[in-house]
Structure 1
Amino acid sequence: MTEITIKATDGSGEFFAYVARPKSTPAGAVVVIQEIFGVSPAMRAITDAIADQGFIGVCPDLFWRLEPRVSLTDKTQAEWDKAMALLKAFDQDKGVEDLKATLAAARRLEGCNGRAGTIGFCLGGRLAALMAIRSDADCNVSYYGVMLEGLAGELRHAANPLLMHIAENDKFVPKEAQGAVLAAVMPNPRVEAHVYPGVDHAFARVGGQHWDGRAAAIANGRTAAFLARWLA
């Protein structure tokens, strides 16, 4: 596990990304998009797991413009309060541009086969969907993305492959919002969406408040097959 430094495309500075490498290369790269808790232990663990699956994992620090190297958990109210404040202050358009820069950097890494995708969680799930719309990522995976209903029109025409994991009882995504998203993506052959019954937001965060081993295993299996299909 190492870190790399990436220059922002708007010339405003640079940010770090945590990198985990597979045992063998060449390999595709996966940009891991953080939750509202920053490049946390959970995100680093996911990046390591991506490497275990045979891909180069790259997790960039997207809150660097607000506070570099944020690393929080979901265990205390103080951490939740800080994470929500960061979310409100976060410029998502600049975040997408930083992700595009990360995608380009990942493709240039030694051992990368030139293919790169994204996988995001919560806020990152929304940004992964935006990457399917606005970037040249080879594939994208969205876990319980928030505020996606506002992108319904764009998702209907998303050109890049997108796999969506939706929690049926997501406290941050009402049923009406889920329905709007599902109706939008259903006609798009580039988008695959799955709803996981009876689980809440962040059901795939190991050790998290709403961890659900069964739903996580099913979702992660689908993700592994999806990444292998597009990045191998």
Structure 2
Amino acid sequence: MTSITVATSDGSASFDAYLAQPAGAPRAAVIVIQEIFGVNEGIRRKCDTLAQAGYLALAPDLFWRLEPGVQLDPDVEPELQRAFGLMNRFDQNQGIADIEATIRAARIRVDGGKVGVVGYCLGGRLAFMTAARTDVDASVGYYGVGLDGLLGEKHGIANALLLHIASEDHLVPKDAQAAVHAGLDDHPRVTIHDYPGEDHGFAAEMGRRRSEQAAGLADQRTTEFFARHLA
């Protein structure tokens, strides 16, 4: 497993990021933003798939201040509860600063080329925040939680943002989903896809949450989105 060290924005510390490199020169870079389960095998597989498609992929360890290197399995109840505990202690603003530092590191590795982000669960929320607060070139969020509470930042979205919403997400009530649509459907840089009958985590690489057909459709849309906006 290959990882690199990324310096924090203020240079006072550093953290690890999983690195997957393409066979040839990268077409662009993509930052994969973790779920609440750390940079586990599923997140690393997301990076590996992106590398196979020609991207340099990085997954920063965003929980490094709390528990460096943590890897949890959502199908194991004690590990699920541990993940919720980490999420509750996690400083999301610091997380965005670490993502921004990773974007800068990735840009250097692709000679100033384009950088995108894709996030899942907590990472889906952070992908929205990254789109609104940084110079990232394209962002994708899968089943982000609490996006309705972030709509006040939508004016900051300067580049393309794609959101995948699970219609039966047990963590995102219907009224919250409706608020996201009401707030973003007319935004010129935002595209939203709904997945009827699907629950939170449907695009996980493995485990009980995965829904094969919906995951395949969402991932195809993400592939086409990055091909268009990171070219």
Structure 1-normalised TM-score? 0.96
Q: Does 1:142 align with 2:144?
A: no
Which aligned runs of 4 or more in structure 1 are off by greater than 3 angstroms?
none
Kept in 2, the 8 Å contact 1:120–1:127? The answer is: yes
CA–CA separation in structure 2 for the residues paired with 1:168 and 1:139: 23
CA–CA separation in structure 1 for the residues paired with 2:155 and 2:212: 31
Alignment RMSD (CA, Å): 1.2
CA–CA separation in structure 1 for the residues paired with 2:156 and 2:117: 18
Kept in 2, the 8 Å contact 1:156–1:187? The answer is: no
Kept in 2, the 8 Å contact 1:153–1:184? The answer is: no
CA–CA separation in structure 1 for the residues paired with 2:33 and 2:18: 11
Letter aligned with residue 215 of structure 1? A
| Structure 2, unpaired ranges of 5+ | none
The Cα shift of 1:206 comes to 2.3
CA–CA separation in structure 1 for the residues paired with 2:230 and 2:138: 8
| Structure 1, unpaired ranges of 5+ | none
Deviation per CA, 1:148-185: give whole Å up to 9, x if none.
11012222552221000000000100001001011111
Q: What residue number does 1:217 align with?
A: 216
Structure 2-normalised TM-score? 0.97
The Cα shift of 1:88 comes to 0.3
CA–CA separation in structure 2 for the residues paired with 1:15 and 1:113: 22
Q: Does 1:105 align with 2:113?
A: no
Letter aligned with residue 229 of structure 2? W
For residues 1-232 of structure 1, what are the structure 2 equivalents within 5 Å? 2-109=2-109, 111-112=110-111, 114-155=113-154, 158-232=157-231
Deviation per CA, 1:104-153: give whole Å up to 9, x if none.
000111x4561101000000000000011000000000000011110122
CA–CA separation in structure 2 for the residues paired with 1:28 and 1:160: 16
Kept in 1, the 8 Å contact 2:19–2:57? The answer is: yes
